[in-house]
Amino acid sequence: MTQHDSLAAADTRAACPEGAGRGLPAVSLALLAVFAWAIGWYWPTATDIAAIWWRSETFAHGLVVLPICAWLVWRKRGQLAGLSPQPIPWLALPVAVAGFGWMLGQMVSVNALAHVALVKIIVLSSIAVLGWRLARILAFPLLFLYFGAPIGEFLMPMLMDHTADFTVFALRLSGVPVYQEGLHFVVPNGRWSVVEACSGIRYLIASLMVGSLYAYLSYRSLTRRLVFVGVAIAVPIVANWLRAYLIVMLGYLSDNEIAAGVDHLIYGWLFFGVVILAMFWIGNFWREDDLEPAAQRTVAAAQPIAPPRRWLGLAPLALAIALFPPLHRHLEAPVEPFEVALAALSARPGWSPAEAPLDYRPNFNGQRGELQQGYRREDGAVVGLYVAYYAQQRQDVELVAWGNRLVGERDERWIQLTSGRDALSVGPVRRALLGDGPRRLAVWHWYWSNGRIVASDAVAKALLALDHLTGQPDDAALVAVFAEVEQHADEARPLIEAFLENHAQDIEIMLKNAEARR
């Protein structure tokens, strides 16, 4: 080496002291930059997530996700020493896909999709900035961020069904006579219902997050980690079944003196806490964290710091993150409120106008127009028709929304006893049996989306997104037909089919005319 080369090397060491741009400080700076850039562009979505953490007991665990993630990164400081971020510019492509998913979620008002997409943007962008080697070391802390996305409520109906079925099965096994109607069942001294608070979703999500963290910290074997995560999923489900059964049994044996009011939620949490503690106590016997592998004890060989031109390659990543919020604002301009008038349907021969049976109205809101009519057949049977029409759908004025359902969450009159898929002459539909004390109402309903008949919320949302992306009208409607029955919904099927045979074409024409006039 010449004297000139020696001086140049010395100048380089002086300008870039050992460890500068490497290790925990460099990683922390890169992660904070990614987080700030993403949150800045998606601020409304981020604040919506934080608001859900704050107000929802189901997702209150989200408040500790970021602190735990930061702590997990700090724990890896020994492995990060000597390593520096090595950007991966091409990961801008999957980040753009995630951004497009966020825009779709905003377009069709599927908050869960938008929330997950934002977390995915942050995770993928972090990998793009850190590089593969650092990303492998921080894989779990980065993936742990997904627990911050408030999703999981779609599991509620399934969890509620299984909880009700197990409770009834266990009660009968215990010698208690039970009469069941869907999520509602009657024992000799009381009536019980499995409501959303009894689904066990809170227990399941909390157990999955804590169980995953425990498995990561306590085991090195991937098999043991996955097994414990599986246990963390199964235990809260079974524990919730037992909790529901014990609460009903307590009420039954005490003649509803205990566990019949708010206190049954307290008993449930105490029981669940004992079960989870037992699960962790058992899992402690297979801990592996005492023997840390040599690869984790050894400081990695120093990496060269990425040259400036490598960082300039991340410009597409910054653009991919920033692209979709302004694009969404351009495509989804605000719409002034307006109304759509629906023409009343004339009764066909053999039918005459009448009052809708049992004065029932589905709990749908945000519609641009609605129609409710009743029809009496010559033999005296009565059918009700309800149509809710939607157009220029935006947040809170959309067909498929969380609060739009046959029976409102706070409805003091009706309860939904059963529900399921079905098919009528018009196409795929959904069927439900509603109860009002001893009276029963069978309801068949479906969605009309620009002439397409669908019975799935997901398909209706997908068609809405397609209409928005292609610039087509997004007119859609809920159509519900219903009739009073003695006990089972099938009793009214011939009557409903007869009504649709005479009036289905008129309903279609009425909807198309409303779309054409708008």
Q: Quick: pLDDT tens for 323-343.
A: 999 999 888 777 888 888 898
Portion of the chain with pLDDT greater than 90, in percent: 48
State how beta strands 351-354 and 179-181 pair. Answer: unpaired
Same domain, 71 and 137: yes
Range of the domain at 69: 17-150+303-331
Closest by CA to 487, choosing from 433, 436, 444, 407, is: 433
**Domain membership flag for residue 486:** yes
SS3 433: strand
* pLDDT tens-digit readout, 65-84: 999 999 999 999 889 888 88
Would 236 be classed as within a structural domain? Answer: yes
Reduced to 3 states (helix: H, G, I; strand: E, B; else coil), residue 411 is: coil
Residue 291 belongs to a domain: no
Note whether 22 and 145 are same-domain residues: yes
Does some domain include residue 139? yes
- Segment of 20-34, 93-107, 320-334, 456-470 carrying the highest mean pLDDT: 93-107
The Cα–Cα gap between 517 and 319 comes to: 41
Are both 457 and 500 inside the same structural domain? yes
What is the C-alpha separation between 343 and 30, in angstroms, rounded? 60
Same domain, 119 and 206: no
226: number of Cβ within 10 Å: 12
Residue 53 lies inside a defined structural domain of this protein? yes
- Number of helical H runs and strand E runs in the chain: 18, 11
> Residue 250's pLDDT is what?
82
Same domain, 70 and 191: no
pLDDT tens digit sequence for 269-314: 676 677 778 778 877 777 775 544 444 444 555 556 656 666 677 8
Asked whether 22 and 84 are in contact (CB, 8 A), the reply is yes
Mean pLDDT across 501-506? 93
Same domain, 318 and 355: no
| Short-list 444, 502, 503, CA closest to 478 | 444
Q: How many domains does the chain have?
A: 3
Rg of the chain over all Cα atoms, to the nearest angstrom: 29
Report the sign of the C-alpha dihedral through residues 50, 51, 54, 60, in that order: negative
Asked if residue 341 is part of any domain, the answer here is no
Same domain, 425 and 280: no
Which CA distances in Å does 374 have to 160, 343, 442? Answer: 34, 14, 14
Decide if pLDDT at 509 tops 80: yes
Q: Specify if 294 maps to a domain.
A: no
At 453, list the tokens: 């008949």
- Average model confidence (pLDDT) for the chain? 85
310 with 356, same domain? no
